[in-house]
Amino acid sequence: MATAARLLNKQHKDVLDLNFGCPAKKVVKKCGGSALLADVPLLEKIVRDVMAASDAPVTAKIRTGWDDGSVNYREVGLLLQEAGVPWVTMHGRTRAQKYTGVANWDHIADLVEALDIPVIGNGDVVDGAGYERMTRHTRCHGVMVGRGAIGNPWIFARMRAVDEGVPPPVIDFAEMCRVTIDHIRLEVALRGEKTGGYVVRKHIAKCFKGYRGAAHLRRRLFSTEDPEAMIATLEEAAAAGDPRVPDESALPPVGEG
């Protein structure tokens, strides 16, 4: 990890965020991600080694613990604070929960009280209302959105609207098509045509949920692996227009934040 940090110094990153929250089996079985919550001495060594090697500030994301019998977010949070990280992000579930059940915002609130550094809350925020509830409930200093942004990139504009005290933006069908086209092009530029076209599908599957004719549009998009054909389909759909605007119930369900 320290070697990787030194390599990243050449890229002049603004911050390095160590993810001790990933619950994926393929990561955990290699003693990565949230597996480190069950080996706090190793977690501390990694943090200190990376901080010593990195020119950029080093932050960390954690979960509440490995399982209900080993909830140790306070211990880990205080350790990270003492090591000198500028802030900590916490997802309100244990590794054992993965993304099931409901994120425990009380634990996030408790960590906010326990630490002197900022705490970023994470888990079950999928819209502006959820963002407002989390910040009020936990008094966290910020909110990280992960899975809740899949197919829902406008969540950030809706969160900003809460902060500014203005109505949330209404995203029409043509705008959703335009942003999806931009997304396809960016994925292709980053990953190449084959992988980029494949990766963007999970976003497309949710982007148009709640629109009349969405199932038909998804079938057309998924009938091809050619990104340019996807873009042509979206341009055609945008030109045709769709008067229906999805309400909050069309957003991803709680548990995907």
State the 10-residue block means of pLDDT for the chain, 257 residues long: 94 96 96 97 98 98 97 98 98 97 98 99 96 98 94 92 94 88 95 90 80 82 89 89 47 42
Q: Which residue type occupies 76?
A: V
CATH 1.20.120 in the chain, residues? 173-240
Considering Cα of 206, then 210, then 215, then 220, what sign does the dihedral take? Answer: negative
pLDDT at 243: 37
- Rounded Cα distance between 25 and 111, Å, is 26
pLDDT at 242: 57
Q: How far is CA 183 from the centre of its chain?
A: 16
Q: Are the beta carbons of 92 and 108 closer than 8 angstroms?
A: yes
- Rounded Cα distance between 27 and 54, Å, is 23
Q: Which residue has the tokens 């080993």?
A: 70
CATH 3.20.20.70 in the chain, residues? 2-164
How is residue 33 written in tokens? 């991600």
Q: Which residue has the tokens 């994470």?
A: 122
Active site amino acids:
22
pLDDT at 84: 98
Q: How far is CA 78 from CA 68, 74, 170, in A?
A: 19, 6, 42
How is residue 37 written in tokens? 């919550």
DSSP summary character for residue 141: S
End-to-end Cα, the chain, rounded Å: 27
Q: Which fold has domain 173-240?
A: Four Helix Bundle (Hemerythrin (Met), subunit A) (1.20.120)
Q: Which residue type occupies 7?
A: L
Burial code of 179-204, b = ≥16 C-beta within 10 A, e = fewer? bbbebbeebbeeeeeeebbeebeebb
pLDDT at 81: 98
* 194 contact partners, CB below 8 Å, separation of at least 6: 225
> Containing H/E element for 193?
helix 193-199
Q: Which residue has the tokens 């076209």?
A: 197
* CATH code of the region 2-164: 3.20.20.70
pLDDT at 239: 86
pLDDT at 214: 82
pLDDT at 206: 82
In this structure, the dihedral spanned by the alpha carbons of residues 113, 119, 120 and 122, taken in order and rounded to 10 degrees, is -50
Q: Are the beta carbons of 77 and 121 closer than 8 angstroms?
A: no
